[in-house]
Chains A and B, each alone.
Chain A
Amino acid sequence: MRGIMEQQSAFQINETDNVATALQECKPGKVQLLGDCTFPYIEAVTDIPLGHKIALRDISTGESIIKYGVVIGRSTGNIPKGSWVHLHVMESIYDQRSSHLDAVTGAPKDTQYI
């Protein structure tokens, strides 16, 4: 367990981004924003694994996910501000297969092991 004083933080690369990257494993609560951020803190509403993305605002179905100031995919459901953004709520515009992978492990679910 993390000490209560240790700050949770996430890195926003471009000011137009609607997601930031967690620099530690984050629990619901206050998360400090670093980088080219538009506000100093965001309230996490779900767990965010290390290196994964947190929504910086409410993102509705079909909207672009922006990181580095560019489109890195689109949302497949409504994503509330402060929640985890990954394969379960977004997909690639190019790579159809990746949206069928396990959100936590990244393991393929479309290859049979029998």
Chain B
Amino acid sequence: MELKDFSWQGYERKDGKLGIRNRILVIYTVKCSEFVADAIVRESKNEEVELIGFDGCTDNQYAVNMLISLIRHPNIGAVLAVGLGCEYVQPQWLAEIAEKEGKPAKWMFIQEVGGTRKAIDLGTKYVQEMLETLKNTPRKEMFMKDLILGAECGGSDFTSGLAGNVVVGRLYDKLVEEGGTAIFEEIVEAVGLDHLLLSRAANEQAKKEIQYTYEKALEYCKDVHQYSVSPGNFAGGLSTIEEKSMGAVIKSGSKPIQGVVKVSCTPKKPGLWLLDSTPDPYWMQFGITNPNDNEGLMDLISAGAHIVFLVTGRGNVVGSAVSPCIKITGNHGTFQKLTDDMDFDASPVLRGECSQEELTLKLADMVAKVAGGEKSKSEALGHKEYFIPYKYQEKEVSFKKKCDICMES
């Protein structure tokens, strides 16, 4: 079976985009309304109803952009925004954005509706109505070319660069050939590979974007005297950041890179894209580039990924809100030990038991099944993690240097 042969029924949105899930997002707009929003999700007793939110009372453009990108995500069918009533983030405006997308939407302030119990009851009533409406969402046949896939790695070991990331790279090549869209990230793990990434730039603009994004990340690493490599990586056999980088970059496959996408912005056209999740320079501080794996997954989903791959040698158990997560390991021991959590074993290729081509098509088959509604392991277990932090990023590659910003201010 080739990639063009796979198809499944997607959910058609007003703007023509196709989703692979039809979920209701219950969004809290400040930590103070999280309890109520979470209770609405629990009391709705439906796996398609899920929670996201932003903790801060003071808003942040990056976080608001992310909430909006998730509301607009084609896997989302309806939105309920729950606010307390005095925070900066506006639940009404979020609901209005969903309505413009043709998605059923409601909002409330807990202070106005009369407190915890009344807000939960009202929220669950809204959700029940939305679930009824969503039964009528139009379905449409969907193909690999309609998919946006995202990939990142976490808890890497020596197998990640030999098998786990390799199979993702091969699938990315096939997806791009088929007219689909693939996104990879972790520019801080591309140190030493600028020549390689630049030689794959699809055009001059892409080259400029990659160069700037690479230099921003390298400058950050130099500033904090720390590269994205740890004692565990060295103990596991990686000797340099360049070696770790290459193991990570290999998951991008070999196709031309169309350019750099910023968090919460979708690629302008199909093909392979680099996602820049690092803060823009005037907000670069120690430790805030990639705080955890869920942040990385959320960044990819905010850029429109229908499904995200998490490649992990040592093993991880997380999933994600909005888009299913497929966890891949090249470490057979990890696959056996965490068999309830890991979706895909990429290790047979290391033992010569199958070819890279066979393994790639097996992964494509899993993608098509999950896209068609089959649950990934983390979905089935109820993992719905999300992470929306304060951060600063421009919406386009800014080409600003740190010194330029000092001059401006």
Chain A interfacial positions (CB closer than 8 Å to B): 11, 13, 21-23, 34-35, 49-53, 65, 67-68, 70-73, 85-87, 90-95, 97-98, 101, 104-108
Q: Is the CB of B241 within 8 A of A92?
A: yes
The distance in angstroms between the C-alpha atoms of A106 and B242, with both chains bound, is 16
Q: What 0/1 readout, one digit per residue, does chain B (227-240) give for beta carbons within 8 Å of chain A?
A: 10111111111011
Q: Chain B's nearest CB lies how many Å from the CB of A76?
A: 11
B residues near A95, Cβ cutoff 8 Å: 191, 221, 227, 229, 240-241
- Taking A94-B227, A101-B231 as given, write out 6 further A-B residue pairs in contact, using a Cβ cutoff of 8 Å, ordered by the A residue number: A67-B246, A68-B250, A72-B246, A86-B234, A86-B239, A98-B227
B240 & A52 in contact (Cβ 8 Å cutoff): no
Q: What is the chain B residue whose CB lies nearest that of A90?
A: B239
Number of A-B residue pairs, CB cutoff 8 Å, is 103
Q: Are A73 and B239 neighbours in the complex by a CB distance under 8 Å?
A: yes
Whether A70 pairs with B193 at a CB distance below 8 angstroms is yes
**Chain B residues within CB distance 8 Å of chain A:** 157-159, 161-162, 191-193, 196, 218, 221, 225-227, 229-237, 239-243, 246-247, 250, 350, 352
Chain B residue nearest to A104 in the complex (CB): B235
Name the distance in Å between B170's Cβ and chain A's nearest Cβ.
13
Known: A51-B157, A51-B158. Contact between A11 and B237, CB under 8 A? no
Residue with the greatest number of chain B CB neighbours at <10 A, chosen from A11, A49, A97: A11
Residues B191 and A94 in contact, CB atoms below 8 Å apart: yes
Shortest A113–chain B CB gap in Å is: 14
* Least Cβ–Cβ distance between B279 and chain A, in angstroms: 21
Q: How far is the CB of B383 from chain A (nearest CB, A)?
A: 28
The residues of B that contact A53 with a CB separation of less than 8 Å are: 237, 239
Given contact pairs A34-B350, A72-B242, A51 touches B231 in the complex (Cβ within 8 A): no
Q: Known contacts A34-B352, A67-B246: does B240 contact A91 (CB below 8 Å)? A: yes
Give CA–CA (A105, B235) in the complex, Å: 5
Q: Which of B236, B241, B242, B247 has the most CB of A within 10 A?
A: B242
Within the assembled complex, what's the spacing in Å between the Cα atoms of A53 and B157?
13
Instruction: List, in ascending order, chain B residues with CB within 8 A of A50's CB.
Output: 158, 237
Give, as a whole number of angstroms, the nearest-CB distance from A97 to chain B: 7
Q: Name the residue on A nearest B236 (C-beta).
A: A51
Complex CA–CA separation, A106 to B236 (angstroms): 9
Min CB distance, B323 to chain A, in Å? Answer: 29
Name the residue of chain A whose CB is nearest to the CB of B245. A72
Q: Is the CB of B237 within 8 A of A94?
A: no
Please indicate the chain B residues that have their CB under 8 angstroms from the CB of A105 in the complex: 231, 234-235
Whether the Cβ atoms of B231 and A70 lie closer than 8 Å is no
* A73/B237 contact (C-beta < 8 A), A11-B350, A21-B158, A95-B227 known: no
B229 touches A98 (CB 8 A): yes
Check B162–A13 contact: CB distance below 8 A: yes
Q: Which 8 A-B pairs have the closest CB atoms?
A: A106-B234, A51-B158, A51-B237, A92-B240, A106-B231, A52-B237, A72-B243, A73-B240
Give every chain B residue within 8 A of A72 (Cβ-Cβ). Answer: 192, 239-240, 242-243, 246
Considering only CB atoms, which chain B residue lies closest to A34 in the complex?
B352
